[in-house]
Amino acid sequence: MLGATKSVTAPSPTMIRRTRVEVDLSAIIGNARAVRRAAGAQLYAVVKADGYGHGAIQVAWALAGARACDGFAVSLVEEGVALRDAGIELPVLVMGPSQVGGEEEIVASDLTPVVASEEDLGALAHVVHRRGSPVDAHLKVDTGMNRLGVAVERAGELAAEAWRSGIRIVGLMTHLACADIDDPADPDSMTRHQLARFALADRAVVAAGAPLRVRHASNSAGALLFHEARFDLVRAGIAIYGQGSWLERGASDAAALVRQPAMRLVTEVAQLRAIEVGASVGYGATWRAARPSRVAILPLGYADGLPRRATGHAQVAIRGVRAPLVGLISMDIAIADVTEVPGVEVGDPVVVLGKASGGASISAAEYGGWAGLSEYEVTCGMSKRVPRTYVGDVR
């Protein structure tokens, strides 16, 4: 595992346009520790989709170096290989969908495969046969989400078949469909129905002789809101990045521990312009000044992760004051009405997403709400052309 002194700042091109995504790695470490402490179980940090847009390699370096998690979870074989190539030695679980065609890479890179279908099992068995050595895997069962996983009724049979093929089923997993919206006090919730189905699969797999070591079902919401869903391991994604609007429900003391959003989208005022009454700004002349106005030209747009659909709704924070964006958000430029913000100058910092001074912070939930997006889409949607910069104590 990489040590705590490992640099977490990746090389980046010279920043000429002062638009950047800032990622607070100390917040991610703090959130991960809070989740693991609350769950009382192993924590696999979910770093798929480039760490939900935060930077998978940098996040993994920070968490591994700080010993803040026990392993990582990704979706794609390529994502797991990239972690290994970056020097990450902790376990890496490749959750799918079907990895048929990538089994050699999984085994060669010492990744942990997930068997979620008969096809997965058959393809992995071929690799085991060619190599002549057994492989550890986790078996995923479908407990009601109807997306990935083998039928509960077939779990025992497939576990036995895996054993005969040289595949040791050391983990049993499922995925919760409604943990973020279910009431933890409701005994008839979808989550509890899924957990009951998971228990059936568990008994069948154990009866088939599988050498199970870990059981896991919980995503972030499951880990923090449902005590009985924690088992031996939890897989937390959105919570370690300090997001999850369901945290605001206050349904769990554990949920209150995770309150450190790690991402900020920031830029600077590039130009200031005086707009006469009746004059328009931007494409389509969709906004016209109803009074003598002062606007700030901001060097970012929908190509950077500020959705065009947020036009007419989005705001930014300048000098601790919220200012509305006016006119259509274009590919590279947004325009803020700063008439009510005294003293704005070219070069002033502008917070588009995240913490700002003066109580003007903008959450991912609010940001997404302007364009009909989820928090996941907000952070994952930050364009790769926007440099990531990393801050925070990673010890």
Domain positions in the chain are: 25-257, 263-362
Identified catalytic residue from 44, 140, 283, 384 = 283
- Answer yes or no: pTM beyond 0.85: yes
The yes-or-no answer on residue 283 being catalytic is yes
Residue in this structure with the two tokens 């923090």, named with its chain if needed: 224
DSSP 8-state code for residue 362:
B
Residue 63 and residue 279: Cα distance in Å, rounded? Answer: 51
CATH number for 263-362: choose from 3.20.20.70, 1.10.3720.10, 2.40.110.10, 2.40.37.10: 2.40.37.10
Using CA atoms, how far apart are residues 136 and 259, in angstroms rounded to an integer?
36
Residue 193 backbone phi and psi in degrees, to 5:
-65, -40
Give domain 25-257's CATH superfamily.
Answer: Alanine racemase (3.20.20.10)
- Please give the chain's pLDDT, 395 residues, in tens: 443 334 444 445 567 889 999 999 999 999 999 999 999 999 999 999 999 999 999 999 999 999 999 999 999 999 999 999 999 999 999 998 766 788 999 999 999 999 999 999 999 999 999 988 999 999 999 999 999 999 999 999 999 999 999 999 999 999 999 999 999 999 999 999 999 999 999 999 999 999 999 999 999 999 999 999 999 999 999 999 999 877 765 445 555 566 689 999 999 999 999 999 999 999 999 999 999 999 999 999 999 999 999 999 999 999 999 999 999 999 999 999 999 999 999 999 999 999 988 878 899 999 999 999 999 999 999 999 999 999 987 76
Beta bridge partners of residue 84, listed in sequence order: none
Q: What gap in Å lies between CA 40 and CA 234, rounded to an integer? A: 9
User: What is the rounded CA–CA span in Å between residue 99 and residue 113?
Assistant: 8
- Cβ count within 10 A of residue 109: 17
Catalytic member of 48, 140, 241, 376:
48
Residue 48 a catalytic site member: yes
Q: Which residue, among 257, 251, 250, has the nearest Cα to 236 in the 3D structure? A: 257
